[in-house]
Structure formats: C-alpha cells, structure tokens
C-alpha cells in the first residue's frame, strides 16, 4: 500500500484541488497566451484571494495557491471578467492544450480550431491532452500530450499519436483530431476512466495512415533572447504575484511554456526582475522539485529548500529530481538521480523514478551534501 494517493485528475479553476496550503486553482490560458491585462488580473487575484504564490505547471498552465472555499467564488467572478474561465467544468476539463511559444498566426488559428473541436470529442480521460508543436521545428517532445501536431521536414503539418514516431498528413485538422481521439477510445485506450495514448501505442495499436516523420526536434530552449522575444525561467516554476505584476507592466503578451518558463513576446532585452532566472547556466534549472512539505499534504519532507542547498554543489552537467513522496509528480519518468523524501530521510534512486528501488536509504540532507563535497565524488 502506498503512502500517497493517485487522484487521477488535474485541478482546474472551476474544479480546484485541496492541498496543504489551501485550494490549488489552475488557470488554462486561452490559446496559450496572456494579454498584459489578463496577467495583471491573475497577479491581483493571487494576492486578493490566495496566498500570493503562482505556479507554472508542466502543462503551461498557471496555478494560484492558498485559495479558500470562501474566496473561490469571488476569484472565479474576477477571472471570468477577464475571459480566463471556461463556461463549465466539462469544457474546462477538455481544454488540455499545450502550445509552443514559438509560433505564428497559423498556430493560433489551429488552436482555435482545436478548441472548437473539443466539444465534439468522445469522453476522454481527464489527463488526455494535445500539443500544438507547430513552430519551425518541434520543441515539445518531452511535454506530456497524447495527440501532437508537428511539422514534417517539408514544413507541412502532421498529426502524430504520442508514443509513435510517425504521423498523418493534416488535411482537415479538426476532423482528424476528433477521428484520432475516437480511435483511441474505440481501440481500448480508456480503462476505468484513465488512459494515455503512449500506453495504447506500446500495446501495438497504431492509427491508420501514420507514415510521416516530424522534423528533427530542437533541444529544450534555455533562458535568453529568442527571435520571438525574451524567455525567462522561474525556480521550480513558482513566482510571487509581484513578479507577475512586474512582467505585465511593460505591456507585452506572455506565453507560458511547459518548461516552467515564460516567453515575453517581442521583448528585445532580458528583464531585471527579482525572482526571474535569465542565466541559462544557473544550476537551479537542472533540479526538478515538487512543492514538497508542508504545502503538499502527501509530501514526506522538504524539497525546494534542499534543492537550493544542493544546487551550488552539483557537477556541471548533473541533473537532479527531488520528490516529496514516491508519487513523483514533478518528474514522473526516470531521472538520472532522484531523491525521494520518506519521512525518515531521503532515498536515492539512480536512473529511475521516485518509487523505484533505491540505492541508498534514509539519507540526511547533510549526508547528501557530504557526498557531493567528497574528493572525487561521483554524481549522486
């Protein structure tokens, strides 16, 4: 029996999730972007109705923390006034869409087409999602999605089921997305309300007409200046409301990303705002850490304090995942090195997930640090 609970669904704005510091309210930016006015409204709402903390999720959504049952209705009213709330929970739960921040007018039109098509989708699992990776080359290969829209080497669009290397040529995007979702359901992709495309593909099920490969993907972008604007990172994807206020002030559109970064569209200089990471070599960027205790009720120990303590001592290319429990929410797949809090210390797992068999157990933070500082010490 595990010490953690798998809820099987993600929070929304209309259906928030209880955490250790109150309700978590997830905002899914329409078409993957925020106007300066919307960003300002979210920052104000975080201060007024929550504890002022805003998370950027791995699905490029924003989460307000510390919201209460009493403040939630007024929060929804304020966000609805800025076109940030779906009409109902069903519509909200369907709109699991990640968009590349590097895009053109065609990408925005595709997002609008998909948003309209969602109402004609079959009954899909709550975590089932779509990725519009329609920049010049794919950049969302590591982001969680089930149906992907990408470009082939010749620049034309393909629709690719996650877990399969090939996709279909796009001729009628809305209809093809619906058809692939129907195929997923009819092929047995859903069990007890759950299921992911990659798991179905791994069983040998492949949609028809998948013959085209996507273009060679780009590495995950790093903070800095890009043709579309300035990309800035947040330590562990978290910021205070005042940081978002400062980002909204110059009047640029903001595009959240699944790398827990924000693209400031059109910016030609990197902002000097406390709380932002603009140096691509900052070691914090090589550590993934969930919320941890006490903000998460399932966490067995601190995560982000430990991460900041260890970051200066990481080897130049070392990456690290620190999980508050064996659930491993922040990094569900295998990592080079994982530290999992257990309540009696931290278990160390090499090349595995937070719930895999550890190499070392019950490590104290000092024991972990001593290991890093030891002469000729290998990677954790």
Q: Give backbone dihedrals phi and psi of 201, rounded to 5 degrees, phi first.
A: -60, -35
Question: Could you tell me the pLDDT band of residue 371, with boundaries at 50, 70 and 90?
Answer: confident
Which residues in 17-31 are b (16+ Cβ under 10 Å) and which e? eebbbbbbbbbbbbb
Greatest CA separation for the chain: 61
Q: Cβ-count burial of 87 within 10 angstroms (0-12 exposed, 13-18 middle, 19+ buried)?
A: exposed
Residue 2 has what pLDDT? 47
Spell out the residues 6+ positions from residue 118 whose beta carbon is closer than 8 angstroms to its own: 91, 94, 95
**Chain centre distance of CA 24:** 15
Walk me through the domains of the chain, giving residue ranges and CATH numbers.
17-91+221-277 (3.90.480.10), 103-202 (no CATH), 283-373 (3.30.413.10)
How is residue 357 annotated by DSSP?
A: P
- Return the percent helix, strand and coil in the chain, to nearest 5: 25, 25, 50
pLDDT, tens digit, for every residue of 152-172? 999 999 999 999 999 999 999
Map residue 276 onto helix, strand or coil: strand
Question: Could you tell me the pLDDT band of residue 1, with boundaries at 50, 70 and 90?
Answer: very low
Pick the closest to residue 177 from 97, 105, 104 (CA basis).
97
Spell out the residues 6+ positions from residue 337 whose beta carbon is closer than 8 angstroms to its own: 318, 319, 320, 321, 348, 349, 350, 379, 380
Res 149 pLDDT > 90 = yes
pLDDT, tens digit, for every residue of 322-352? 999 999 988 888 999 999 999 999 999 999 9
Residue 8 has what pLDDT? 63
CA–CA dist 59, 88 (Å, integer) = 20
Asked if 143 and 58 touch (Cβ cutoff 8 Å), the reply is yes
Per DSSP, which regions of the chain are E strands?
Answer: 17-19, 22-27, 53-56, 62-67, 97-99, 130-132, 147-151, 157-161, 168-169, 224-226, 229-234, 238-240, 254-256, 261-265, 276-277, 287-289, 320-323, 335-341, 346-352, 360-363
pLDDT, tens digit, for every residue of 214-264? 999 999 999 999 999 999 999 999 999 999 999 999 999 999 999 999 999
Taking the CA of residue 160 as centre, how many other CA atoms within 13 Å lie in the half-sphere pointing to its CB? 27
pTM: 0.92
Residue 12 has what pLDDT? 94
Taking the CA of residue 314 as centre, how many other CA atoms within 13 Å lie in the half-sphere pointing to its CB? 21
Contacts by 349-355, CB closer than 8 A, 24 or more apart: 353/328, 354/321, 354/323, 354/325, 354/326, 354/327, 354/328, 355/2, 355/326, 355/327, 355/328
Asked if 372 and 380 touch (Cβ cutoff 8 Å), the reply is yes
Question: Could you tell me the pLDDT band of residue 151, with boundaries at 50, 70 and 90?
Answer: very high
CA distances (Å), origin 189, targets 186, 193, 196: 7, 10, 7
CA–CA dist 371, 380 (Å, integer) = 7
CA–CA dist 225, 233 (Å, integer) = 12
């Amino acid at each position: 029996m595990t010490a953690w609970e798998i809820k099987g669904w993600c929070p929304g704005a209309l259906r928030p999730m209880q955490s250790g510091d109150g309700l978590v309210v997830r905002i899914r930016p329409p078409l993957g972007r925020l106007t300066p006015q919307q960003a300002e409204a979210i920052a104000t709402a975080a201060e007024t109705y929550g504890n002022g903390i805003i998370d950027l999720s791995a699905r490029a959504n924003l989460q307000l923390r510390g919201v209460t049952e009493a403040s939630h209705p007024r929060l929804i009213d304020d966000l609805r006034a800025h076109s940030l709330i779906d009409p109902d929970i069903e519509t909200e739960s369907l709109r699991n869409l990640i968009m590349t921040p590097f895009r053109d007018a065609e990408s925005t039109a595709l997002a609008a087409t998909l948003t309209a098509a969602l109402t004609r989708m079959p009954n899909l699992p709550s975590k089932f999602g779509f990725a519009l990776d329609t920049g010049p080359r794919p950049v969302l290969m590591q982001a969680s999605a089930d149906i992907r829209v990408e470009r082939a080497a010749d620049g034309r669009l393909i629709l690719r089921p996650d877990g399969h290397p090939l996709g279909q040529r796009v001729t009628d995007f809305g209809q093809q997305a619906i058809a692939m979702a129907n195929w997923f359901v009819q092929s047995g992709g859903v069990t007890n309300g759950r299921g992911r495309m990659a798991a179905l593909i791994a069983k040998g099920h492949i949609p028809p007409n998948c013959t085209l490969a996507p273009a060679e993907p780009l590495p995950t972008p790093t903070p800095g200046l890009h043709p579309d604007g300035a990309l800035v990172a947040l330590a562990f994807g978290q910021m205070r409301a005042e940081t978002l206020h400062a980002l909204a002030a110059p009047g640029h559109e903001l595009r959240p990303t699944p790398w827990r970064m924000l693209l400031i569209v059109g910016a030609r200089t990197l902002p000097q705002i406390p709380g932002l990471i603009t140096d691509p070599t900052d070691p914090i960027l090589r550590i993934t850490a969930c919320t941890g205790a006490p903000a998460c009720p399932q966490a067995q120990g601190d995560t982000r304090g430990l991460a900041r303590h260890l970051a200066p001592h990481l080897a130049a290319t070392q990456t690290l995942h620190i999980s508050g429990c064996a659930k491993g929410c922040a990094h569900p797949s295998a990592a080079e090195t994982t530290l999992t809090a257990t309540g009696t210390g931290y278990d160390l797992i090499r090349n595995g997930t937070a719930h895999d068999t550890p190499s070392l157990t019950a490590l104290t933070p000092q024991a972990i640090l001593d290991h890093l500082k030891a002469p000729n010490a290998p990677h954790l």
